[in-house]
Every structure is written in C-alpha cells, then in structure tokens.
C-alpha cells in the first residue's frame, strides 16, 4: 500500500534525484564503452625505451656534431 511518501517511503523530493543519478550512471557507462571501442589497440601501445646519455653522446659523435676531444670529455663526465 502506498502512502504520501511513495512506495519506498522516500518522499517526493528524493525520487527525481535517484532517477537523475541512475540515468547519469547509464550515460557514463555508454560513454566508457564507446571510448573503449573507438580507442582500439593504439591506446595501449607501449612507449619505446628512452636512450641513455651515453647512447645520445655516441650518436652525436657518429653524426659529426662533436669532435673526438669533446666526445671523450663528455664521456668522462657521464661516467663519473
């Protein structure tokens, strides 16, 4: 039997809040599913490992950006 507070005894003021929260939850779930479906495997690609300072230094020397003396000095700095 229903009284003036509705079938659950909540009163008229809280029913619409629960309904809005329910539909917001449904909408958030749908958005999450769509983003997951559209995102695909590209979103889970791991980043390539970053280079060490020594590797960067060797590449600069190989390209001719620095001479042998500067290479040796910077290599000593890195190792110490």
Query: What mean pLDDT value characterizes the chain?
Result: 83
The pLDDT value given to residue 7: 59
Q: Using one digit for the tens of pLDDT, what is the confidence trace for 24-44?
A: 999 999 999 988 888 766 656
In this prediction, residues 54-65 reach a mean pLDDT of 95
Structure tokens belonging to residue 59: 């590449």
**Helices then strands, each counted (H, E), the chain:** 3, 0
Domain boundaries, the chain: 12-44, 47-80
Local structure of residue 52 (DSSP, 8 states) = P
């Amino acid at each position: 039997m229903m009284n003036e507070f509705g079938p659950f005894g909540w009163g008229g003021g809280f029913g619409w809040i629960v309904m809005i929260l329910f539909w917001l939850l449904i909408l958030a779930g749908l958005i999450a599913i769509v983003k997951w479906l559209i995102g695909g495997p590209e979103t889970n690609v791991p980043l390539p490992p970053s280079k060490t300072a020594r590797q960067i230094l060797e590449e600069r020397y190989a390209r001719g950006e620095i001479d042998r003396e500067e290479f040796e000095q910077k290599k000593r700095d890195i190792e110490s």
